[in-house]
Structure 1
Amino acid sequence: MERNRSVLARLGGMPRKREPAGAAVLQESVTSAIAAAMFDELAETGYARMSVDAVARRAGVGKAAVYRRWPSKQAMLLDLLGAAVRRNVPEVPDSGSLAGDVRGFLDVIVAQVAEPRIKRIALDMAAETERSPELGAALREAVGGPRRAAADAVLRRGIERGELPADTDRELGLDLLISPLLGRLLLTGGPVDDAYLTRLTAVIVAGLTSA
């Protein structure tokens, strides 16, 4: 239970400050309760079955409190999920080397995605991208955008140091940095220990420098 609470604190924390609608002042404590309730519902029932009514009941507020903040379930999801991703994908520290930056980025992904609760939400979101192309496009921007920006910083620094050629295919590089580890964490379920991350770092660096 305590572990779930710590994850809830990461996922359901306060999103970016919103301007009040008209003269109404949106209480931060209510917004935080709604955010926590939404992530609980999302993890337990999935997006398709989640309703604004259920989120409001779990948060202990009226449905109107939700609609004062977001016009729809989808808008609530994108705002809160995007804010959570931005908080949990910090810029990878500059280690001074491409290999060090790649390993630092992999560590960031593991810290963000390894928790089983987060895996359930991530897999549910992946399924929703197939059901609704419009929602999928919005999710890729809200969730994938911050992660790819962090990965791009790794490539940019490698180019600036001369470790990567200036004409490096950065889109391909982003896929190489992100996809193998996410696939293992979310799909195959193989172990992700220090030895695996060390080997994966070496493979990614070799791929980037030989592309």
Structure 2
Amino acid sequence: MAFHDIRFPASLSFGSLGGPERRTEIVTLANGHEERNTPWAQARRRYDAGLGLRSLDDVEVLIAFFEARQGRLHAFRWKDWADYKTCPASKQVSPLDQHIGTGDGVTRAFALAKTYRSGDWDAVRMITKPVAGSVRVAVGGAELDESVGWALDTVTGIVTFEAPPPVGAEVTFGGEFDVPVRFDTDLVQVSVANFQAGDVPQVPVIEVRE
């Protein structure tokens, strides 16, 4: 399987249904108490690309994209309109949005990540598919000029500095990102009559772990 560095048409993913999925294993004991555990450190996202189709032209675009990916074979980028940037939906991206590390005077490479907080708890999600041109980086609270003294790998989500950030300096970033996904089916069935009547095909898409 290869990763095709191309985004599924954002106009079609806009109307899709989906979001994060967790896996929780629950054992109910004889006394009625539960033991709960999860084998997943991070959530896995699922979507239905069929719900974003509004015309037969959209269907044609979907089929062309599906054929070029050879069904489930090749992964691609997906814009999750409900969660595609490092700040709240109503805010503008800032280079101070997300903490990704602290300088130790040696480390030059830092992995992009987004932290989800609720109360005293949080969950960290690795960002491996940042959108080129959207990422802003800061060290010690001071934003760095774009690509000056640092470089971003948009395929892995790794920021590499020419010189290690100073000891104790907080490294932060902000930007937009895509989800690496693949089709979760090798079959797309479309009936023109049914589609015109409002019955759209189901086209499941699932996040891939890298």
Please indicate the TM-score interval, normalised by the length of the shorter structure.
under 0.3
TM-score, normalised relative to structure 1: 0.23
Q: Which structure has greater helix proportion?
A: 1
| Higher strand proportion | 2
Q: Which has the larger radius of gyration?
A: 2
| Higher RCO (CA 8 Å, separation ≥ 6 residues) | 2
Using structure 2 for the length normalisation, give the TM-score: 0.23
